[in-house]
């Protein structure tokens, strides 16, 4: 049974594009959470997928010059936001700079 679940997960991964992020939750319909995590870990050990962080995997793209192509931190953050159905709210210096820019320059462009 575990072999058939691994085949189903491999088929689902093969349908994804290179550099698409893979989460264990993508395979809820295939099996239990423990079986899916174990299968993804085995695929990682067999070098069929890359592990970016705990519970986040990817099929890396390859370029002849750059070798492995991995997603940026921004792409990972947006994938997590999409998965969790949440929003990203800037804070700290980034929020201040964004607010300052909007209030100094944008109103002048539309008047």
Q: What is the pLDDT of residues 53-110, one digit of tens each?
A: 888 999 888 788 878 888 888 888 888 888 888 888 777 776 667 666 565 655 555 5
Q: In what order do the strands lie in the sheet with 21-22?
A: 21-22, 56-58, 50-53
Q: Whose structure tokens read 């539309």?
A: 110
Q: What is the pLDDT of residues 24-49, one digit of tens each?
A: 988 888 888 898 999 999 999 998 88
Ramachandran region, residue 14 (left: φ > 0; alpha: ψ -120 to 50; beta: rest) = alpha
Calculate the dihedral angle through the C-alpha atoms of 100, 107, 109, 89, rounding to the nearest 10 degrees.
50
Alpha-helical segments (H) within the chain: 2-14, 33-45, 73-84, 92-104, 106-109
């Amino acid at each position: 049974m575990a072999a058939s679940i691994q085949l189903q997960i491999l088929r689902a991964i093969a349908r994804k594009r290179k550099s698409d992020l893979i989460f264990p939750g993508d395979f809820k319909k295939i099996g239990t959470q423990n079986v899916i995590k174990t299968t993804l870990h085995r695929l990682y050990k067999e070098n069929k997928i890359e592990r970016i962080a705990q519970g986040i995997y990817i099929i890396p793209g390859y370029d002849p010059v750059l070798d492995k192509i991995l997603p940026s931190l921004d792409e990972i953050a947006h994938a997590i936001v999409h998965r969790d159905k949440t929003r990203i709210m800037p804070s700290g210096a980034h929020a201040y700079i964004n607010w300052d820019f909007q209030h100094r320059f944008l109103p002048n462009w539309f008047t």
